Amino acid sequence: MPATLFDERLAWEHLLKQVSFGPRVPGTEAHRKCAEWLLAELRKTCENVRFQPFEHRWSVDGRTYRMANLLAEQNWKEAKVRVVVLAHWDTRPYADQDPDPANRTKPVLGANDGASGVAVILELARVLQGRLKDVGVLYLLTDGEDLGPDIGEMLLGARHFARNLPSPRPDYGILLDMVGDKDLRIPMERYSFQQAPWLLRELYDLAARAGMGRTFPKELGQWIIDDHVPLNEAGIPTVDLIDFTYQPWHTVRDTPEQCSPASLGKVGRLMELWLLREPAYRPPRNR
């Protein structure tokens, strides 16, 4: 493994901090407080940190909810290659996959489903600060990814972003979702393979060279509709690094006990190596 600065203990603290607010469900105090904290954290390491607010009228109660993506840049304007790195910061209002029916109206804590990807991004922003040369990074923390109940009311922040792209726009994207599972194993997600096979192959080759081939096996996983889908539809090739074989998914057991600092470290180090590699990776023009 080449030398890296990514500190999995610091990433882990970012996971615990998000969980300490409670479930980050739109419309709640925990959601509002977490947004303020994320803004303050990103301002320590990034430029042009801002909210990208939007509203959604929820079919469940007919009320209109205010939500917001968070955007933060490093080396964005100056870069030759621009990468959006994203994760969702909201959590699911209902643990609808819980084996106990009594839990299905409770919110999900989202230690893995939400907090893990954000935790990696916050630490990644610390270690990349001042080190990027040809690459610019846009960190995008999406809201309303997991609102539901159905897919029509999910991916809300990613859809809003895809309709309101920054200028200059990203060349490609990498989504981190459910990357904290203590038994982390991330096969190649199928939409990612369909939309950006060259990007996925390069990423997995790098993982193998860094000795992480078991965590990132070169095999096809499931088709997963996630925040990368709206970006791909908007013409930004985006892959999803996701471990979807997570028993506590959308249950009240999605807690830090199911996750590990080591897993955040693996994903974080891969991202650090990827974004600092030279020459910077450029997507093929005529695909």
The site for Zn ion (CB under 5 A) is made up of 113, 146
Rounded to a whole number of angstroms, the minimum distance from the CB of residue 213 to Zn ion is 27
Contacts (Cβ under 8 Å, ≥6 apart) of 161: 52, 69, 140, 142, 230, 231
Would you say 144 or 268 has its CB closer to Zn ion? 144
Report the 10 Å Cβ neighbour count for 169: 12
- Of the pair 73, 113, the CB lying nearest Zn ion is at 113
Within its chain, how far is the Cα of 121 from the centroid?
Answer: 7
| Nearer to Zn ion (CB atom), residue 146 or residue 171 | 146
Token pair for 197: 């096979």
Distance (Å, rounded) from C-alpha 165 to C-alpha 169? 6
**Closest to 229 measured CA to CA, from 158, 136, 145:** 158
Q: Which is nearer to Zn ion, 14 or 24 (CB)?
A: 24
Q: How far is the CB of 262 from Zn ion (least distance, A)?
A: 22
Rounded Cα–Cα distance for residues 103 and 107 (Å): 8
Residues in CB range of 166: below 8 A, 6 or more apart: 71, 76, 138
Amino acid identity, residue 44? K
18 versus 75: smaller Cβ distance to Zn ion: 18
22 dihedral zone (left: phi>0; alpha: psi -120 to 50; beta): left
Q: 113 or 272: whose CB is closer to Zn ion? A: 113
Q: How far is the CB of 90 from Zn ion (least distance, A)?
A: 9
**Min CB(82)–Zn ion separation in Å:** 27
Residue with tokens 């959308």: 250
Nearer to Zn ion, 16 or 224 (CB): 224
> Least CB distance from residue 219 to Zn ion, whole Å?
23
CB of 146 to Zn ion, least distance (A): 4
141 in Cβ contact with 68 (< 8 Å): no
Q: Tell which residue, 72, 22, 19, has the closest CA to residue 42.
A: 72
Cite the beta strand spans of the chain per DSSP E: 47-57, 64-74, 81-88, 135-142, 172-177, 238-242
Task: Closer to Zn ion by CB, 52 or 91: give it.
Answer: 91
Beta carbon of residue 258, minimum distance to Zn ion (angstroms, whole number): 14
Q: Nearest approach, Cβ of 177 to Zn ion (angstroms)?
A: 8
- Other Cβ atoms less than 10 A from the Cβ of 257: the count is 10
